[in-house]
Amino acid sequence: MLTIKNLSVSIEDTSILSALDLNFSSATITAILGHNGSGKSSLALSLMGHPRYEVSGEILLNDENIVEFSPSERHHKGIFLSFQNIPEIPGIQVIEYLRTIYNSHFSRENPDKKPPSLFVFKRIVEKLLPELHIEKELLERELFVGFSGGEKRKIELLQVSLLNPSIIILDEIDSGLDIDAISVLQEQINKWKAEKKTIIIISHNLHLLENLDIDTITILKEGEILESGDKKLLEKIKQDGFTQ
């Protein structure tokens, strides 16, 4: 469970978010909506501990206040954040990158054990590829170099499957995806909910949200909560936009 209490966020004395109170339970999907500049992405980055932001209030992960934790510490506590813009990283294969982050996570969770060999790790990864519709050849390519939007997002989904985080924050993860890739994404998100994970989605894609088992929709405006409700709120947004 992730809870934020009286969370305010600023950058160089400019207020971004103001006194937010939100609760994200396990086995739930929460959609954070609002116009550009409403504070949605700043909320996601603040939850992950981005050093750019000055934060006050509490961020409670299973009742532990993690507001002073580094991004790495939050990652190891089980929080995953997708990136809006994924940079290309020449010279590193996808499989090498995945193994590095997996080994770091494995060693943290199992300090007395050795991480699996490259051969064993490849077998672990290959078992996950079919449900994500990932071709094996993608693993040998340079990290995100020349990747389509869908290919980049599939590698992020693969990271989630490997690391098994308890809190999954998806910031515009559907950007640039075709219909087939969005279908794969929807399947994975609903699967994560069935696995009792906490999912937070930031998206402008109402079609994506309509096909998800969403529990709560929260609309932000100018860094404050404008309205919250269940999935029925989508119909109001389709008709009236983000207004009251």
HEC secondary structure over 187-200: HHHHHHHHCCCEEE
* pLDDT > 70 in the chain, percent: 99
Among 2, 45, 7, 30, which Cα is nearest to 200's? 30
Domains and CATH numbers, the chain: 2-240 (3.40.50.300)
Strands 198-202 and 2-11: unpaired
- Cα–Cα dist 206/174, whole Å: 11
Bridge partners (DSSP) of residue 28 are 198
Instruction: Please give the pLDDT value at position 201.
Output: 96
Per-residue CA distances from 182 to 58, 92, 132, 206 (Å):
34, 27, 11, 12
- Cα–Cα dist 225/70, whole Å: 26
Helices (H), 80-143: 94-109, 118-132
Q: Which amino acid is at 213?
A: D
* pLDDT > 90 in the chain, percent: 74
Among 239, 178, 167, 241, which Cα is nearest to 208's? 178
The model scores a pTM over 0.95: no
Residue 89 has pLDDT above 90, yes or no: yes
Instruction: Please give the pLDDT value at position 13.
Output: 86
Q: How confident is the model at residue 183 (pLDDT cuts 50, 70, 90)?
A: confident
| Mean pLDDT calculated for residue range 177-197 | 90
* Contact yes or no for 216/228 (Cβ under 8 A): yes
Q: Which amino acid is at 30?
A: T
Q: How confident is the model at residue 239 (pLDDT cuts 50, 70, 90)?
A: confident
| Mean pLDDT calculated for residue range 81-100 | 91
Instruction: Please give the pLDDT value at position 243.
Output: 65
| Mean pLDDT calculated for residue range 150-158 | 90
